[in-house]
Amino acid sequence: MTCRRRGYTLIEMVVVAVLSALVLGTAVAATALVVGMSGIVSREVDSYHDLARLATVFRNDAHQATKFTTANIEATVGSTADGTIISEMELSDGKSVRYRVNDGLIREVLQDGKLVARDGFDLDHGQRVLVKTYKENSQTVASLIVFGSRILDRGDEAASQQQTWEVYTVVGRDRVLLNR
């Protein structure tokens, strides 16, 4: 009489369990890594996109500025509720523009003292912004400096202190070119 039974030995079960745990663990770790990374990547992409947009807008404003003033202070994002005005400009078309730091960087366009447009640039809490002016080749140049982010620098405090995004621009460039 022959008895046919299908089953697994204890060793086989242990090996299968270990291999399954290994494969599952690796898969979960890889998924978490990819998901986490894609989150960081999208935040970084958004951040650089905003910085590039800020550079374009700031340069356009500075090029048209007939009067440029700066508070010359480092304003920290998220430190004050109503915000700190870091720079104001009077444009050739009669409008004026001011840059305010509160939960991000806000650009406000005013005409006859009334707010006509507002634009926002997303910055991380703790990032610092500074606008400074100086003379170069007898021209006024302005630099908008955004100090690095701890999020982008993976928590590296030293790197976030040093690494800066600088927008260098000639104040009144278009006006100077037209009137020279």
The whole-angstrom separation of Cα 74 and Cα 147 is 9
* Min separation Cβ 129 and other proteins, Å: 15
Residues 11-40 that bind other proteins (CB under 8 A): 23, 26, 30, 33-34, 37-38, 40
* Min separation Cβ 141 and other proteins, Å: 7
* Min separation Cβ 42 and other proteins, Å: 10
Q: Which of 48, 116, 154, 161 binds other proteins (CB under 8 A)?
A: 48
> What share of residues in the chain are helix, strand, coil (percent, to 5)?
40, 35, 30
Q: Which residue's CB is nearer to other proteins, number 4 or number 114?
A: 4
The whole-angstrom separation of Cα 32 and Cα 39 is 10
* Min separation Cβ 56 and other proteins, Å: 8
Under rule CB under 8 A, residue 174 binds other proteins: yes
The whole-angstrom separation of Cα 107 and Cα 88 is 10
Amino acid at 97: V
Contact 58, 169 (CB under 8 A): yes
**Could you tell me where the beta strands, DSSP code E, fall in the chain?**
65-70, 75-76, 84-91, 96-101, 105-111, 114-121, 128-136, 139-147, 164-170
Under rule CB under 8 A, residue 158 binds other proteins: no
Q: Which of 20, 139, 154, 157 binds other proteins (CB under 8 A)?
A: 139
The count of chain residues that interact with other proteins, using the rule CB under 8 A, is 45
Under rule CB under 8 A, residue 5 binds other proteins: yes
Contact 147, 161 (CB under 8 A): yes
Binding site for other proteins (CB under 8 A): 1-7, 23, 26, 30, 33-34, 37-38, 40-41, 44-45, 48, 51-52, 55, 59, 63, 92-93, 136-137, 139, 141, 162-170, 173-174, 177-180
